Amino acid sequence: MHDHAAEASLFKRRALFTFVCVVILLGILLSNLYHLQIVSYTDYETRSNDNRIRVVPVPPSRGLIYDRHGKLLAENQPFFALELIPEKVKNIQETLTRLSQIIPLSAEEQEKFTESLKYHRRFKPLILKTSLTEEQVAQFSVNQHEFPGISVVAGLKRHYPHQGLLTHALGYVGRINDRDKLRLQQAGEWKDYAGTKYIGKQGIEKFYETLLHGKPGHLEEEVNNRGRTIRTLKSVPPDPGQDIYLTLDLELQKKAFELLDGRRGSVVAIDPRDGGILAMLSSPTYDPNQFVHGISSKAYGELLNSRSRPLINRATQGQYAPASTIKPHLALLGLDENTITAKTRIWDPGFWQIPGVERKYRDWKRWGHGWVDVNTALIGSCDTYFYDLAYKTGVDKIASFMQPFGFGERTGVDIFEESAGIMPSKDWKRMRYNQPWYIGDTISVGIGQGYWTTTPLQLANAAAIMANKGKRFVPHMLKSIKDNTSKIDSPVDEKAPIVLNDQKNWDIINESMMNTAHKSRFKDAGYTAAMKTGTAQVFSVAEDEKYDAETVDEFLKDNALIIAYAPYENPTIVLAVVLENAGWGGANAGPVARALLDEYMLRDSLEFNQ
């Protein structure tokens, strides 16, 4: 007999349990729906959009570079390149082989691309070949259906229309490498390079990278499940880099390039009124355009191993003994310390001796200059006079006096490739060589030889300070910056002037430099100039030996130097010329300086007559 009461009770309990389970499950379902739709809505919407919306970075166009007169020095040109997405290509090597039958791919290009694949994400595009010609683009377009995953992309590349004329001043841009990426990431600037493949590597291009680069934009594209673009949802244009105007004078630079004609050496010209660099040439040079998309190993090896060292910026990195070009500064020191006066005379028999020492320090004129004072010593570049002056002054006073002129330290010019040179002293030699300083070391310093080395830029800067009678500026190449709205002049960095015990001493030395110019190289110039030449030994000659230029190796011959400025009354240009292994300074560097000053000083009158 059935117990209906018991069965009814059991049913109720089971029904209640089932109901509770349903309620709990519904609660869980509702809770999950709340979490998905309310709490995590933003997160899942973002994930959905990431699958549906693709953000494509748009790189900015790089700012242009002009000279002081608005002549274009660096521009952007359109180019075409082959781009490959690794994950869309089944057999890369086979594809490259077939592709090379349509578009030539050298073994080096294929090897370089294969090497790059090892460190590249397979879903990201990788450049296979740059600088395609229009004919190559057309040939590939006809056969593109045979090469899934490979496409032609267009872009802008940096181009230097004057090729090697301004290489060491402008520098160049090149592909962003791992070292560049790491540096940008550490500086928190990597996001600013989204979509950008190039970055300044040297010179102005590197120093003013922040100004020239600009800010990237982006496109938001709606894509289907296969990644194909359906439509563009949003476009944020990039901010182009700022155009910059340099203090460089393109015509003066061309003249310097023409005069050096590939010879090893350097020319630096400065406007002493504000420190603006008018010309900066290092010779020999090279075409920076070959570095933009990557230079071949063979071509780079030739540049790297060349005995003439074209990769070195001689203007800021070349270190040369200043020789007699620093005699005006040493004479100024002697006057300022009252070691000599304008009327102090010594007898020059063709040599000088340290008191009590037999060794003779020879003058360049073996029969001597006779009686000389500071004026005739500078005009005749009398070594004996400056041996005696250095001996009486001492190297530490020389080093201390020369430091404000910029010797032994970087000038602060707006490129990173600069050497400090050497301004020797007793402490310097002890620290460098752990050796004591000898009197003979001081005598060599007295004629700009021995341990003393300087760069052509330092030499030009020191000459500008002399011409300015102590007024100093930081040498620079940036003149002004231009964006979409305005052109703003760059501020001039003026340093504290050099103040002498007697300011009239500036006039004594500058007048001697003027006399030097107009008794030799500039006597028939249409303007008043001042100058001092120098001939620097590259190796030491024994006391009883004679230097023979005919038998000496080419790279051991004397360097020819000159500093000059004009017009004497109110200087607007100061220059330094260094010609490696050219021989006598006046005979070899002198004509270069004269031609450059003629180009600059007589330009307006020549244009008027034409």
- Residue numbers in the known binding site for Zn(2+) are 348, 363, 369, 382
Nearest to 441 by CA among 557, 361, 338, 347: 361
Spatial distance between the Cα atoms of 99 and 443, rounded to a whole number of angstroms: 69
Spatial distance between the Cα atoms of 158 and 594, rounded to a whole number of angstroms: 35
Question: Under DSSP, is residue 4 helix (H, G, I), strand (E, B) or coil?
Answer: helix
Task: Give the residues across from 155 on adjacent strands.
Answer: 79
Spatial distance between the Cα atoms of 31 and 42, rounded to a whole number of angstroms: 17
Structure tokens at 76: 């952007």
Question: Under DSSP, is residue 185 helix (H, G, I), strand (E, B) or coil?
Answer: helix
Residue 48 CA to chain centroid, in angstroms?
47
Q: In what order do the strands lie in the sheet with 276-283?
A: 276-283, 265-271, 573-579, 559-566, 530-536
Q: Which amino acid is at 480?
A: S
Contact 525, 594 (CB under 8 A): yes
Q: How many CB atoms lie within 10 A of CB 231?
A: 8
Spatial distance between the Cα atoms of 483 and 480, rounded to a whole number of angstroms: 10
Contact 378, 513 (CB under 8 A): yes
The pairs formed by 129-138 with CB atoms below 8 angstroms and a separation of 24 or more are: 129/81, 129/82, 129/103, 129/105, 130/79, 130/81, 130/157, 130/293, 130/294, 131/79, 131/80, 131/81, 131/157, 131/293, 132/79, 132/80, 132/81, 132/82, 132/103, 134/80, 136/80, 136/103, 137/80
- CA dist list (Å): 19 to 9, 421, 447: 15, 92, 108
Spatial distance between the Cα atoms of 243 and 249, rounded to a whole number of angstroms: 17
Nearest to 251 by CA among 604, 567, 8: 604
Catalytic residue among 266, 324, 425, 444: 324
Task: Determine if the peptide bond prior to 475 is cis (ω within 30°).
Answer: no
Nearest to 402 by CA among 465, 324, 450, 449: 465
Nearest to 202 by CA among 282, 266, 128: 282
Q: Which amino acid is at 272?
A: P
Nearest to 279 by CA among 264, 267, 262: 267
Q: Do the strands 65-66 and 243-246 form a parallel or antiparallel pair, or are they unpaired? A: parallel
Spatial distance between the Cα atoms of 263 and 256, rounded to a whole number of angstroms: 11
Residue 210 CA to chain centroid, in angstroms?
15
296 is catalytic: no
Which are the catalytic amino acids?
A: 324
